């Protein structure tokens, strides 16, 4: 393997980087000189040209120049130094919360100054808080530009507390200098490499763009200097997926042939017949399971398309063949619901179904571990608790993961490894309701075979969605009342702050009190993620049984919950949620034959993007359409929930921005895998050092 100096060289070897600075870099995921050099700027600033104060734009980083007409200290809670700067077009304020005595002495009336920073709205004037500044000898003094290195474009890096732009820049410059005499070796195969500039030239352009650089091209990923790295990273990612797939195909698995012993009576016991789409997908699965290599199949199906039934039919095949099955769901509510379903379906067939969650008592857990180990439990359902080290299976034949978007690729592989017994791997089935456009799927799910359930069970009526401001809350409450009087059930989803289940839970508690006062004759209950698990379970069961009419919930009910009699959903603060989440939530209604409604309640004013999102929700019920719109609305600037899609965190690639490269990258990856195995190994090692461990496992 080519020895590349910067690949593994620790940061500490750089001039000017000591232990404490190294630690700060570590928090950004930067450990080696290579990591540092691949820490690319978010954007670039042009500090050499200044802007008239009258023409500045709020939020933009700008240089202004003028004369200080007044300087004062204020004593409002804490001392502040405030300078008023004037040019021919207006007055702006420079505000210093931290300042030295010498600053106080020099920033005085009559001095000419050049200042740089983000423009904020002040009371009477535009302001810059803590600008970078230089005093000038006179109005026309051009000798002091703000940037000491005299470059036109200043890169601005993603950073963390206590790590200034200047320090990052200085460290990167030191790294570039170090490489000057030892340029990194090329790892792309020669023919592909010939399309690009040498690595060091690319790095120099990115971190230190020459005056002639098309800066917008750098920012948009179009510039050849950055394109090389986008290519490298995407290829490395694809290669690792191909390697995983190949590795997978070299493993052994038990082959299962459906005997129909259990499948037949199960289908007979169902109140409905599987849709054609369900049957087709089940055939794909059975086909996979006959092979002696582990199945790795992803089932994509819109909310409500009946993925659980597909999972049950897959499970029965493994069970008929004398194996255990584990089903993992991302939330306790969902795990419990699956447990209830499977219990109802399988117990009459003589299959022992059990569930496992982190919240069981230690004693109960231990008991279940033993029964899993000696094979007494055939069908195990649970949260990720089913994969703790203590869980050992007698003979695990199939792993089912529901709502996979909540789990990352690495997690998926770890889980799979747990099921290995005597070198036999379990088959794996992954189910997701988050549809993604085809080109992205080619990357995200490149290691999986994909089946799509493209049909909803018959008899569903489309959900009507309305968008209403929260000022019309009374009307909405009356509507809830009416639905309950008509014997329907209602969800009221309360979202306050995303990602804080605690705050959401508090808000939901207050909401329940309010609704109980306004609608005293209704049975109202609450469910949120912070509740004890048995309480949660009993609330969900009562709701399912129709004893509760109105269920106030946080977004814990987002995935999978299935109560067909619920036909009205109110989503509060809908403007704060993304399209995928809104679609998931809305999918809780419209599961029965009754006409269902969804009310998206919002707090005015709506941003442009929020307006567009609400419109999409009103106009479409189709998860694939919504996913496509979602991507368009997010645009390339916003880092799409690559996490939501279970994708590894890319360093340079922006999957949305760069999706047009994917087919080309796929071709290149096949070629490299086939004809340049050494390059393949180096690319993966360079870009995904942790991924290797799965491939070599």
- Residue 567 interacting with ligand ADP (CB under 6 A): no
Output phi, psi for 228, to 5 deg: -55, -45
Work out the angle at residue 275's Cα, subtended by the Cα atoms of residues 273 and 279, and round it to the nearest 5 degrees. 95
Q: Which of residues 253 and 581 has its CB atom nearest to Mg ion in the complex?
A: 581
Q: 135: which strand partners?
A: 113
| 636 close to 656: Cβ distance less than 8 angstroms | yes
Say which residues have a Cβ less than 8 Å from residue 560's Cβ, sequence separation at least 6.
329, 331, 333, 334, 337, 338, 402, 403, 433
Q: Output the DSSP codes for 48-90.
A: SS---GGG--TT-EEEEEEEEEEEEEEEESEEEEEEEEEETTE
- Judged by CB under 6 A, the residue of 303, 379, 551, 656 near ligand ADP is 303
Work out the angle at residue 636's Cα, subtended by the Cα atoms of residues 632 and 639, and round it to the nearest 5 degrees. 105
Q: Return the residues of window 251-290 that contact ligand ADP according to CB under 6 A.
A: 272, 274-275, 278
Q: Output the DSSP codes for 585-619.
A: HHTTSS-SSS--EEEEEEPSSPPHHHHHHHHHHHH
User: CA–CA separation, 66 vs 139, rounded Å?
Assistant: 7
Q: Return the residues of window 10-69 that contact ligand ADP according to CB under 6 A.
A: none
Q: Which of residues 188 and 353 has its CB atom nearest to ligand ADP in the complex?
A: 353
Q: Return the residues of window 413-452 that contact ligand ADP according to CB under 6 A.
A: 433
Residues that bind Mg ion (CB under 5 A): 307, 560
521, with CB counted inside 10 A (0-12, 13-18, 19+), is exposed
Closest approach of Mg ion to the CB of residue 301, in Å: 8
Q: Which of residues 330 and 419 has its CB atom nearest to Mg ion in the complex?
A: 330
- Residue 560 interacting with ligand ADP (CB under 6 A): yes
User: CA–CA separation, 473 vs 515, rounded Å?
Assistant: 11
Closest approach of Mg ion to the CB of residue 432, in Å: 9
Going by C-alpha positions, the residue among 506, 508, 520, 519 that lies closest to residue 476 is: 519
- Judged by CB under 6 A, the residue of 284, 320, 562, 685 near ligand ADP is 562
| 363 close to 357: Cβ distance less than 8 angstroms | no
Question: Cis ω on the peptide bond leading into residue 605 (within 30° of 0)?
Answer: yes
- Residue 546 interacting with ligand ADP (CB under 6 A): no
Closest approach of ligand ADP to the CB of residue 280, in Å: 12
- Residue 299 interacting with ligand ADP (CB under 6 A): no
Q: Which of residues 303 and 398 has its CB atom nearest to Mg ion in the complex?
A: 303
Closest approach of ligand ADP to the CB of residue 271, in Å: 8
Q: Which of residues 66 and 304 has its CB atom nearest to ligand ADP in the complex?
A: 304
- Residue 623 interacting with ligand ADP (CB under 6 A): no
Going by C-alpha positions, the residue among 149, 152, 112 that lies closest to residue 133 is: 112
Choosing among Mg ion, ligand ADP, none, which partner's interface includes residue 457 (Cβ < 5 to 8 Å by kind)? ligand ADP
Name the closest residue to ligand ADP (Cβ).
306
- β-strands 78-87, 61-76 pairing: antiparallel
Coil, helix or strand for 218? helix
Q: Which of residues 116 and 445 has its CB atom nearest to ligand ADP in the complex?
A: 445
Q: Return the residues of window 587-606 that contact ligand ADP according to CB under 6 A.
A: 591
Q: Which of residues 304 and 419 has its CB atom nearest to ligand ADP in the complex?
A: 304
- Judged by CB under 6 A, the residue of 41, 117, 184, 304 near ligand ADP is 304
- Residue 309 interacting with ligand ADP (CB under 6 A): yes
- Residue 308 interacting with ligand ADP (CB under 6 A): yes
Choosing among ligand ADP, Mg ion, none, which partner's interface includes residue 578 (Cβ < 5 to 8 Å by kind)? none
Choosing among Mg ion, ligand ADP, none, which partner's interface includes residue 272 (Cβ < 5 to 8 Å by kind)? ligand ADP
- List contacts with ligand ADP (CB under 6 A): 272, 274-275, 278, 301, 303-309, 433, 457, 560, 562, 564, 591
């Amino acid at each position: 393997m080519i020895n590349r100096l910067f690949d593994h060289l620790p940061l500490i070897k750089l001039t000017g980087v000591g232990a404490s600075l190294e630690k700060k870099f570590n928090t950004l995921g930067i450990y080696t000189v290579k990591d540092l050099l691949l820490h690319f700027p978010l954007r670039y600033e042009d500090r050499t040209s200044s802007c008239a104060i009258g023409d500045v734009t709020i939020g933009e980083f700008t240089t202004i120049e003028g004369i200080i007409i007044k300087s004062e200290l204020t004593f409002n809670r804490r001392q502040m130094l405030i300078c008023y700067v004037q040019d021919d077009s207006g007055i702006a304020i420079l505000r210093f919360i931290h300042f030295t005595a010498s600053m106080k002495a020099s920033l005085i009336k009559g001095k000419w100054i050049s200042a740089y920073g983000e423009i904020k709205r002040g009371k009477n004037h535009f302001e810059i808080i803590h600008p970078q500044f230089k005093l000038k000898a006179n109005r026309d003094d051009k000798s002091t530009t703000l940037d000491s290195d005299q470059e036109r474009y200043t890169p601005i890096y993603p950073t963390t507390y206590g790590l200034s732009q200047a320090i990052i820049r200085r460290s990167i410059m030191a790294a570039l200098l170090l490489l000057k005499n030892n340029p990194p070796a090329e790892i792309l195969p020669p023919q592909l490499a010939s399309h690009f500039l040498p690595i060091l030239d690319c790095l120099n352009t990115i971190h230190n763009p020459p005056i002639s650089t098309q800066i917008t091209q750098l920012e948009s990923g179009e510039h050849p200097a950055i394109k090389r790295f986008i290519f490298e990273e995407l290829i490395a990612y694809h290669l690792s997926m191909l390697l995983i797939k190949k590795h997978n195909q070299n493993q052994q698995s038990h082959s299962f042939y459906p005997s129909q012993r259990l499948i037949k009576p199960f289908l007979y016991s169902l109140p409905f017949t599987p849709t054609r789409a369900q049957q087709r997908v089940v055939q794909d699965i059975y086909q996979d399971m006959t092979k002696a290599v582990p199945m790795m199949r992803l089932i994509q199906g819109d909310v409500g398309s009946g993925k659980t039934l597909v999972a049950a039919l897959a499970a029965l095949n493994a069970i008929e063949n004398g194996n255990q099955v584990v089903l993992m769901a991302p939330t306790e509510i969902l795990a419990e619901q699956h447990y209830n379903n499977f219990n109802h379906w399988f117990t009459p067939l003589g299959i022992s179904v059990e569930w496992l969650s982190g919240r069981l008592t230690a004693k109960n857990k231990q008991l279940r571990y033993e029964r899993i180990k000696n094979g007494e439990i055939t069908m195990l359902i649970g949260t990720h608790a089913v994969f703790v080290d203590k869980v050992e299976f007698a003979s695990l034949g199939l792993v089912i993961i529901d709502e996979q978007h909540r789990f990352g690729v690495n997690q998926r592989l770890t889980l799979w490894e747990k099921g290995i017994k005597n070198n036999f791997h379990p088959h794996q089935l992954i189910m997701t309701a988050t549809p993604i456009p085809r080109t992205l799927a080619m990357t995200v799910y490149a290691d999986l075979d994909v089946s799509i359930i493209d049909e909803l069970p018959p008899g569903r009526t489309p959900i009507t969605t309305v968008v209403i401001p929260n000022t019309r809350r009374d009307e909405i409450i009356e509507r809830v009342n009416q639905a309950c009087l008509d014997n329907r059930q209602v969800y009221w989803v309360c979202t306050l702050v995303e990602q804080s289940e605690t705050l959401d839970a508090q808000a939901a508690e207050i909401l329940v009190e309010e609704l109980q006062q306004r609608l005293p004759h209704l049975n109202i209950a609450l469910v949120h993620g912070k509740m004890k698990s048995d309480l949660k379970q009993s609330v969900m069961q009562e709701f399912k049984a129709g004893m509760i009419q109105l269920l106030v919930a946080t977004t814990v009910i987002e995935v999978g919950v299935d109560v067909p009699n619920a036909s009205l959903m109110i989503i509060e603060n809908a403007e704060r949620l993304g399209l995928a989440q809104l679609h998931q939530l809305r999918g809780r209604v419209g599961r029965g034959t009754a006409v269902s409604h969804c009310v998206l309640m919002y707090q005015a004013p709506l941003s442009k993007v929020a307006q567009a999102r609400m419109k999409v929700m009103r106009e479409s019920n189709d998860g694939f359409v919504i996913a496509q719109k979602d991507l368009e609305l997010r645009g390339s600037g916003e880092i799409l929930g690559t996490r939501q899609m279970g994708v590894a965190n890319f360093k340079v690639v922006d999957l949305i921005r760069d999706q047009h490269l994917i087919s080309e990258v796929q071709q290149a990856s096949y070629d490299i895998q086939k004809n340049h195995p050494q390059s393949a190994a180096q690319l993966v090692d360079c870009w995904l050092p942790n991924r290797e461990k799965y491939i070599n496992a």
